[in-house]
Structure 1
Amino acid sequence: MSVKSAVRVLRIFELLSANKNGLSIKEISVQLGIPQSSTSELVKTLVEENYVMGKGQQHYLLGPRLIPIGHAAMESLDLAALGTEALEDLMRVVEETVFMATLVDQELVYLAKIDSNRSIRTSAYLGGKKPLYCTGLGKAYLAFMPEKEKELYLQETILQPITDGTITDKDELKRKLAHYFDQGFSIDDEENEDGLYCLAAPVFGAAGNMEAAISVAGPKQRMIKQKERIVDQLKQTAQLLSDKLGY
């Protein structure tokens, strides 16, 4: 059974985190449906303990004592460990190989690989690196990357052909990335390895930034046959992981 005052404190933290310019006691009270007198007492205690701080005109913001707590929470979130169960569930449903990767120095680094009992051979391995422009996971990053970062990446990167399917024209790649952003997932159509078709989706963290991307990969013909189902399951898993990271 939850303790009412504790729940109210948590809701105040959540509300203030979404209102960076601060809120008054009355605004907090109205938005949370808490009596103004109770709200005032809770906020007063939080201010005294430095979990909340005042900002002119009786507006309140999250306080400095929450900073080390937030950092400790972020450090304790191991992406691969956090996602293992969800990735294994995804693999069992789609019966294809599932990957998780993150971005390190403008390259894709694989954090997890969950093989199915009918997995095909692939050059991807844990800790291995791949380019962004020719992989489903990498193009998920590019599709959801801030425009300035994306432009800088494309200016500095030579789109070398890895297979006959690799996109080497930057304007074509930009069009594809815009489409991937709109549909919420990216596609690698034999662009990094012959015969391999990959669908990938972004995973977001509490700050709204991409923390990882996850994908399902397999033989093109087999993947195409169940593409709609895979996309649905992939996006659900990406949302689940984003929720776990506080997005």
Structure 2
Amino acid sequence: MTPRAEPPKGALDRALEILEVLTMRGKATTTELVEAVGVSRSAVYRLVERLETAEYLTQADGHWRLGPAAARMAMAAGRNMDVLTVAPPMLRDLAERTGETVSLGVLSGDEIVFVFREIGHQAVHVRSELGARRPLHATSVGKAFLAGLAPDRCEETVAHLSMEAYTKATETDRDRLRDAIGEARRRGWSEEHGEFDAGSTCFGAPVFDQSGTVTAAISIAGPTHRMDAAREPFGPLVAETAAAISRRLGHSDWATPHAA
């Protein structure tokens, strides 16, 4: 069959591209919009003038930014989206792809509470029951949430953790926990190797909302022997899924200045 040719882009497509550019960059000059959208300067002028009239754009100091109408639309979308609405389809996809147990947790006091779980086709029982509470310092999902916090809030939280040992591998030294959190920020995911359950290995990543605030964390867990032998690297997979959930919640990378 002959592939169907895509229809040529119209004014609406170009206007949406402009809005997307400004959503990702925060601001841009007309010249930068011309380069990003790939049309003539006169065409971009017509589009931004129309968007400005409708209050979707505003201009100051030679830069275009999203206007009040765009802000109202974003706020309305945010009110109708929460992590429990957005995350499950993507978590099910990750569980199906890997065959392992995938979980979503939110903060409750100084612990993580699992609010969603999907068991993969080759998963055996792992200690991630729905509604179960988990320590922040000894789990990948907990360390992922800590990594997503602003540095001052993270430090305040770490300073008050009980640092209880659950297995011989549990990290009970606060300085080494801080190092692990810093590493999780740099690479985009956290790891736990038998620190809560001696026989399991887990990888976690934080989920951010529209404001750049960490709102949840996800993890993937399985028996250590199988996780270590897997062909696909679980860390990048869980980080990729968390980032996709965050984008659906309205988050952009520039909204989280403390994330490495």
The TM-score bracket by the shorter chain reads: 0.7 to 0.9
CA RMSD of aligned residues (A): 2.9
Q: 1:49 aligns with which of 35, 46, 54?
A: 54
Q: CA deviation at 1:138?
A: 0.9
Whether 1:154 aligns to 2:152 is no
Greater shift after overlay, 117-126 or 186-195? 117-126
1:180 to 171, 184, 191: 184
In the alignment of these two chains, the number of paired residues is 245
Residue 237 of structure 1: which of 228, 236, 241 is its match?
241
Is 1:112 aligned to 2:116, yes or no? yes
Q: 1:224 to 1:27 in 2, by over 3 A?
A: closer
Q: Between the two proteins, what is the percent identity of the paired residues?
A: 29
TM-score normalized by the length of structure 2: 0.78
Q: Does the 8 A contact of 2:116 with 2:130 survive in 1? A: yes
Mapping of residues 200-215 of structure 1, within 5 Å: 200-215=204-219
Check 1:35–1:137 CA distance in 2 against 1; reply closer, same or farther (3 A cut): same
CA distance in 2, matches of 1:81, 1:2: 34
Cα distance in 2 for residues equivalent to 1:117 and 1:139: 26
- TM-superposition CA deviations, 1:11-62 (whole Å, max 9, x none): 2222333444x4444443344333222222222222222222232x554321
In 2, the alpha carbon distance for the partners of 1:81 and 1:113 equals 14
Tell me the alpha carbon deviations over residues 158-201 of structure 1, each in whole angstroms, 9 at most, x when there is no partner: 21223333211101212222333333322222222343321223
> Is the 8 Å Cα contact of residues 105 and 115 (structure 2) preserved in structure 1?
yes
Alignment counterpart, residue 81 of structure 2, candidates 77, 90, 104:
77
Q: Which of 10, 14, 17 in structure 2 is aligned with 1:11?
A: 17
Deviation beyond 4 Å, 4+ runs, structure 1: 204-209
- 232-241 or 153-162: bigger deviation: 232-241
Counterparts of 2:217 and 2:80 in 1: how far apart (Å)? Answer: 19
The residue type equivalent to 1:16 in the other structure is L
Q: 2:101 aligns with which of 97, 100, 116?
A: 97
Match of 1:136 in 2: 140
Q: Is the 8 A contact 2:91 2:241 kept in 1?
A: yes
Structure 1 Cα separation of the partners of residues 75 and 113 of structure 2: 23
User: Which blocks of at least 5 consecutive residues in structure 2 are unaligned?
Assistant: 1-6, 253-260
The Cα of 1:105 is off from its aligned counterpart by 4.8
- Match of 2:142, SS state, is helix
